[in-house]
Structure 1
Amino acid sequence: MRERLFSFGDDFFITNERNEKVVKVDGKLLRVRQTLIFEDMQGRELYTIKAKLIDIRETMVIKRPNGDRAAVVHNALITPLRDRWKIDIPGGDDLVARGNILQHEYTICRKGERRPIAVISKKWFRLRDTYGVELESAFDAPLILAITVTIDLMAHP
């Protein structure tokens, strides 16, 4: 993923470790909202994030194509050394993101567990403003990517 590529109205792709495009993020600029639509490479909608442009964005919702909530991301705590974000998964295991969000060095774990289901790191790349997301294979990869982009939107308004 590349930081700050989702400027208003822009589209970008998320690639896998083989540099193959796996998710398209379609950025739409509407009157009072920025909307990001996550699509697979066949153009099927996976998730939607809507951000109010004038909001502080302490909470953001990720929705499924049918309009149901897939996740709600809350800024739980910001401290000078560590950030923490709560991710509520309706009907599922809630998640927590911990680490240095501003520097793209953090993990996402199931609430109450220490073993990460995703590790987000900028250290793996030499390219400026590029960071990686390593996922546990058993979890919904597009949802974790949508959560990662949502946290990035909230942390870097």
Structure 2
Amino acid sequence: MKQKILTIGTSSYTIKDKQGTPLYKIGFKTIGLGKHLQLTDYNTGKEYYAIKHVLNPLGLAKYEIRQNDRVIADVKRKVKLLGLGTKFTVTSKFGTYKINGKFRSRDFKIKKDAQLVATISKKFFHVHDTYGIKIENGQDVPFILSLAVVLDEVLHD
């Protein structure tokens, strides 16, 4: 997953496979308050998921992942003592997920029922924000990629 560091107005970025073939596109929409993103098929434009930043009074990150205008997942950031690491809880139609990682190293693990389902690693020394994402077999790939997009958004806020 590669993202431009500075974007002005509406923008998008592309998610590619290991061979560099574009598979998905992340598009930004400006609708009201908060950020709205769409994960679509690169070739057909079919929307898999919409991602909405929900503003809350405490300033903690909360996102909704939607499919066909229905909320199918809530992603909430948890505060860790002394700022040691980053943790998210995801409540979804697929089950409950935990995302844990170290902010400085930019390495994260996504687990469902204590089973590893994906790892996300930021690649350093690139002009663009670039992430390597390994998703285990049997997972809803666009959904896991949506979680990676939320993680990237929170790291940039």
TM-score, normalization by structure 1: 0.83
Q: Which residue of 1 aligns with 2:53?
A: 51
One-letter identity of the residue aligned with 1:43 = G
Q: Given that residues 6 and 27 in structure 1 are in contact (C-alpha distance below 8 angstroms), is that contact kept between their aligned partners in structure 2?
A: no
The superposition leaves residues 83-111 of structure 1 with CA deviations (integer Å, 9 ceiling, x where unpaired) of 21101113x32100011145420100013
- Partner SS for 1:94: strand
- Partner SS for 1:120: strand
One-letter identity of the residue aligned with 1:74 = K
1:61 aligned to which of 56, 64, 69: 64
Q: Which residue of 1 aligns with 2:39?
A: 38
Q: Given that residues 87 and 99 in structure 2 are in contact (C-alpha distance below 8 angstroms), is that contact kept between their aligned partners in structure 1?
A: yes
Structure 2, unaligned runs of 5 or more: none
Deviation at 1:156, TM superposition (A): 2.1
Q: Which residue of 2 aligns with 1:139?
A: 139
Decide which structure has greater strand share: 2
Deviation at 1:67, TM superposition (A): 1.6
Q: Given that residues 117 and 139 in structure 1 are in contact (C-alpha distance below 8 angstroms), is that contact kept between their aligned partners in structure 2?
A: yes
One-letter identity of the residue aligned with 1:73 = V
Residues 126, 5 of structure 1: CA spacing in aligned structure 2 closer, same or farther, 3 A cutoff? closer
Aligned length: 152
Q: Which residue of 2 aligns with 1:96?
A: 98
The superposition leaves residues 34-87 of structure 1 with CA deviations (integer Å, 9 ceiling, x where unpaired) of 2111111211110001225797352110001x2222211011233433221101
User: Quick one: distance in 2 between partners of 1:34 and 1:14?
Assistant: 19
Q: Which residue of 2 aligns with 1:85?
A: 88
Q: Which residue of 1 aligns with 2:149?
A: 149
Q: Given that residues 93 and 110 in structure 1 are in contact (C-alpha distance below 8 angstroms), is that contact kept between their aligned partners in structure 2?
A: yes
Does 34-43 or 23-32 show the bigger shift? 23-32
Deviation at 1:3, TM superposition (A): 4.7
Structure 1, unaligned runs of 5 or more: none
User: Quick one: distance in 1 between partners of 2:122 and 2:27?
Assistant: 23
RMSD of equivalent CA atoms:
2.3
